[in-house]
Amino acid sequence: MKKSIVIMMAMCFSVANMIASTPEAIKPKPVKAIVTQIYSMLGTNEIPSEIRGSKAEVRVAVDRGNFLRILSVETENEALKKFIKSNIDFQKLTSGTYEKGIVYRIPLEVRE
């Protein structure tokens, strides 16, 4: 009787282990998809020398048509602020599903 109980417990643990280790479909987080697309939007343009080494924090939201809307750009460099606004604002996101009404905060740093 003791052997059958031990065997049953071992089977239960092995089944539980198989269920727990079953991989689920992993969806990319919306923030990562947005950041990746923003970096590619900024990287396609010539980066002016006056904004190199500058940092900014950009707050964006996605509207109904999956267009990026810049809410604010916090930086000390006005040229960087103009560069970000001209290259990101009203740009359409290509892929992903995004929650409307969520404000995404994205730190940016332009390397020298």
Tens of pLDDT, residue by residue, the chain (112 residues)? 545 554 555 555 555 555 555 455 555 577 788 888 888 888 887 888 898 899 999 999 988 888 899 999 999 999 999 999 999 999 998 877 777 778 989 999 888 7
Structure confidence at residue 24 (pLDDT): 55
Domain assignment present for 104 = yes
CB 31 within 8 A of CB 104: yes
d(C-alpha 51, C-alpha 83), whole Å: 9
Domain assignment present for 1 = no
Would you tell me how many other CB atoms lie within 10 Å of the CB of residue 30?
16
Domain assignment present for 98 = yes
The structural domain count of the chain equals 1
Pairing of β 104-109 and β 55-62:
antiparallel
pTM: 0.68
Domain assignment present for 35 = yes
